[in-house]
Structure 1
Amino acid sequence: MFDFDMLGLAPTLSAALKRANLNEPTPIQNQAIPLALEGHDILGLAQTGTGKTLAFGLPLIDHLLAQSSKPAPKTARSLVLAPTRELVNQIADNLRPLAEGTKLRVVTVVGGQSINRQINALLKGTDVLVATPGRLMDLMDRGAVDLSTVRHLVLDEADQMLDLGFIHALRKIAPKLGTPRQTMLFSATMPKQMEELSRAYLKDPRRVQVAPPGKAADKVVQSVQFVPQADKPARLREILSNDPEALTLVFSRTKHGAEKLMKGLVADGFNAASIHGNKSQGQRDRAIKAFKSGETNILVATDVAARGIDIPGVSYVINYDLPEVAENYVHRIGRTARAGREGEAIALCAADEVDLLVQIEKLMKTELPVARGTRPEPERNARRGKGGGGGGRGRGAPSKPKAAHGQAPARSGRPRRRRAA
């Protein structure tokens, strides 16, 4: 199949896709949508940025449009669970245009926002409820939502839900859902526990997979720079100065570290904002909105943003700190090279992070190209300061800061502006 018209979607959905100038389905959409339209449970495996939201969203809306019933007060006809507030909002932003011109309602419930407003939004009932597990449990405990009429369940980024401990919430939510129902589970990685989850909640699922779990998007140019921890701030500033107009995501391991890093960048004249768990939902939404519009072009984040940021224009992802969970590296760098675009991922690796790098490379079944420094021997990685450092002449030698940014893809010729001092 080569276009959405051949998938057998409702005319309303075909019109919505045309309004959005979407003509050709991505591979995961091409495989999953026909099976989901037939009512099969779906186990979908695909790297980030491949269009998973429409892969479940289009058949979900199609099924709802085919039904004449309306949701009763406090009920939902379908439920989409996602691990983070940002991802919930992103999913809803993708689904609402599909329901434009219909009577279908899409309601979101997440933590960090007024629970009373969410209770009021659920009073009328909803066709699609998109939620984080924690806030949904709060609403269930208050008797604000009845899930017994749910006939379609979607678990998006299910592997991260496992990482964040939401499996316990899922075990409490699932028995409250209606039966029979269709369940679709989507994930970018497939850890062993995911197999157990699929067996528990999917019935005779059809497995669709467009890339091996742990594989990054093909157009992401990856590299690693071996830098002493103390030299990382200066190295980061060099990299950011090489392409000052580019949208750049910088990942820090901790909330405190992300905030400190952002404030230091701002003090040095960079146009930066931060997003992490200590920020209110309003602050996080404003930071993402500013980043998406280009008002802010550097966003410092923890793994709260490793999923749920769908901004096609992100040119660089910089891993200032390597993640302790290897799978999170895949999700982090998946924020660039989205929707077929090119992007670059740069990892700054201190001596005591080499073991984390080894786990990342093992997951991805490839060794990252070294753009700066010398790769330490594994036995020298026990303590900070052993091995690594900024020595050597890799692809990005210190005397040529521009090259240290890696083999960057061609840019669109955007004008450069001088930063305020």
Structure 2
Amino acid sequence: MSFQSLGLSQALLKAISKKGYTTPSPIQAKAIPPILEGNDVLASAQTGTGKTAGFTLPMLHLLAEKETLRHRPVRALILTPTRELAAQVFANVKEYSEFLDLRSAVIFGGVNQNPQVTKLRQGVDILVATPGRLIDLANQGELSLSKIDFFVLDEADRMLDMGFLRDIERIMKMLPSKRQNLMFSATFSKDIKKLAQGILNHPVHVEATPENTTVEAISQKVYRVAKAKKTGLIIKLISEGNWKQVLVFTRTKHGANKLTKTMISSGITAAAIHGNKSQGARTKALAGFKNGRVTVLVATDIAARGLDIPLLPHVINFELPNISEDYVHRIGRTGRAGADGQALSLVSADETSYLTGIEKLIGERIDVEIVEGFEPDPNASTEPIKQGQGGRNRGQGRGGNAKPSSKSSGGQKSNRRNARKSNANRN
């Protein structure tokens, strides 16, 4: 199958060709036709499957077919959970619309709103936004969503995890009732299905990868290690492996900062990226990581979904996530576009239940290795560290270490409430 066979315009085919793409990915091949036909779509697609083009290309095609209004009101809204993802979706929109008479803009928090307001006043057809800044500018009367033809909710599951449900509901009230809706999510939980029922109208269901499975191209391994020896082990792996680009995940912001400082003192160029960092610092860290000046990017889960890093070879879970689905999202940053990738997890005794939950979710056992000199502590407790124990920043938002329970979702709900309090800093 070719992009041409999907029925896209010549202007879009020219832009696609310029980017060097010839064959659509599975999610693109499945999502583009029903969107072009005017259907609402509910799509399940993992990070790195090309989903952004899956909704951007047909949306641009349909927008270009319609008459351009003189004052260019916002006709398409793409809502994303994080600034990084918003910036990357916007970059894709710009690239694919290069040969079309369409204007686009991106708005998110953490930066001065004045340039964004100026752009909106000039007229914008396609707006990429995070919820907080969108609501702020709408409340200020700087933008109207009354002319929306297309509404895209990207990373819907991440939106809910970060506590944006109430913001989404507020935004929905600003939109006209007649519009085309597209929802993309890596997982289809009960909450996601409930949200879809309130947004989508007789949607076409599209699924490119089985729910909660890991990409086949990713090699996974677990290192059982004593908690106190994790830092030494990760430095040994990166240094002796001579790895040049490694994305490392920690559960807390404090942990990310501490690990970054230790790596730098060990001669490894590293930078941290998380919600407490300014937008300028986050952008600089990501740019340095992409161009090779920074070897290791240490991140909290804010970066798990939305970082577009082509051919990323290594992802390391310095700490396992306490929500199993986040493991899939984290390691999905590698093994993209058909390339091989390696996902390593450093697992201490108190993370045993997290590992069990992850293996149950993905339906496979992960190979285990023990490195001499970094053996696990045989006397350590396998009980997870509970909130309020084990150091600073425990229990902050999704970085908390609340013990997961299959009988109750109370812990996750508490995490989401905490996350909601801080998400104004993230979008």
TM-score, normalisation: structure 1: 0.88
Percent identity between matched residues is: 43
Aligned-partner residue type, residue 183 of structure 2:
L
User: Residues 297-355 of structure 1: CA distance to partner in whole angstroms, max 9, x if unpaired?
Assistant: 21011111101111112111000011122111111101101111110000111111111
User: Residues 48-86 of structure 1: CA distance to partner in whole angstroms, max 9, x if unpaired?
Assistant: 11000000000010011101123636x311000010000
Residue pair 1:42, 1:205 contacting (<8 A) in 2 also: yes
What is the alpha-carbon distance in structure 1 between the residues aligned to residue 42 and residue 257 of structure 2?
37
Residue pair 1:48, 1:217 contacting (<8 A) in 2 also: no
Deviation of 1:366 after TM superposition, in Å, equals 1.6
Q: Which moved more, 1:10-19 or 1:111-120?
A: 111-120
What is the alpha-carbon distance in structure 2 between the residues aligned to residue 376 and residue 57 of structure 1?
52
Secondary structure in structure 2 of the residue aligned to 1:165: coil
Residue pair 2:149, 2:179 contacting (<8 A) in 1 also: yes
What is the alpha-carbon distance in structure 1 between the residues aligned to residue 344 and residue 70 of structure 2?
48
What is the alpha-carbon distance in structure 2 between the residues aligned to residue 316 and residue 27 of structure 1?
24
Q: 1:61 to 1:375 in 2, by over 3 A?
A: farther
Match of 1:387 in 2: none
What is the alpha-carbon distance in structure 1 between the residues aligned to residue 357 and residue 377 of structure 2?
15
Deviation of 1:382 after TM superposition, in Å, equals 5.6
What is the alpha-carbon distance in structure 2 between the residues aligned to residue 147 and residue 87 of structure 1?
21
Give matches, 1:312-323, under 5 Å: 312-323=310-321
Aligned-partner residue type, residue 32 of structure 1:
A
Match of 1:195 in 2: 193
Match of 1:224 in 2: 222
Aligned-partner residue type, residue 299 of structure 2:
A
User: Residues 21-59 of structure 1: CA distance to partner in whole angstroms, max 9, x if unpaired?
Assistant: 110000000000011000111111021110000000000
What is the alpha-carbon distance in structure 2 between the residues aligned to residue 375 and residue 314 of structure 1?
32
Q: 1:368 to 1:340 in 2, by over 3 A?
A: same
Match of 1:166 in 2: 164
The gaps in structure 2 that reach 5 residues or longer are: 387-427
Secondary structure in structure 2 of the residue aligned to 1:249: strand
Deviation of 1:243 after TM superposition, in Å, equals 2.5
Runs of 4+ residues deviating >4 angstroms: 373-380
What is the alpha-carbon distance in structure 1 between the residues aligned to residue 348 and residue 325 of structure 2?
19
Deviation of 1:245 after TM superposition, in Å, equals 3.8
Deviation of 1:380 after TM superposition, in Å, equals 4.5
Aligned residues: 382
Deviation of 1:178 after TM superposition, in Å, equals 2.0
Q: 1:49 to 1:370 in 2, by over 3 A?
A: same
What is the alpha-carbon distance in structure 1 between the residues aligned to residue 379 and residue 199 of structure 2?
44
Secondary structure in structure 1 of the residue aligned to 2:22: coil
User: Residues 73-128 of structure 1: CA distance to partner in whole angstroms, max 9, x if unpaired?
Assistant: 6x311000010000001111111011113221110011101112211111122111
Residue pair 1:355, 1:378 contacting (<8 A) in 2 also: no
The gaps in structure 1 that reach 5 residues or longer are: 385-421
1:235 to 224, 233, 236: 233
What is the alpha-carbon distance in structure 2 between the residues aligned to residue 234 and residue 97 of structure 1?
43
Secondary structure in structure 2 of the residue aligned to 1:17: helix
Residue pair 1:71, 1:126 contacting (<8 A) in 2 also: no
Q: 1:192 to 1:120 in 2, by over 3 A?
A: same
What is the alpha-carbon distance in structure 2 between the residues aligned to residue 135 and residue 355 of structure 1?
38
What is the alpha-carbon distance in structure 2 between the residues aligned to residue 304 and residue 186 of structure 1?
18
Match of 2:16 in 1: 17
Q: 1:278 to 1:383 in 2, by over 3 A?
A: closer
What is the alpha-carbon distance in structure 2 between the residues aligned to residue 326 and residue 133 of structure 1?
25
Q: 1:258 to 1:379 in 2, by over 3 A?
A: closer
Secondary structure in structure 1 of the residue aligned to 2:60: helix
Match of 2:53 in 1: 54
Deviation of 1:361 after TM superposition, in Å, equals 1.5
Residue pair 1:317, 1:336 contacting (<8 A) in 2 also: yes
Aligned-partner residue type, residue 141 of structure 1:
N
What is the alpha-carbon distance in structure 2 between the residues aligned to residue 184 and residue 142 of structure 1?
27
Aligned-partner residue type, residue 301 of structure 1:
A
Q: 1:349 to 1:71 in 2, by over 3 A?
A: farther
Secondary structure in structure 2 of the residue aligned to 1:76: coil
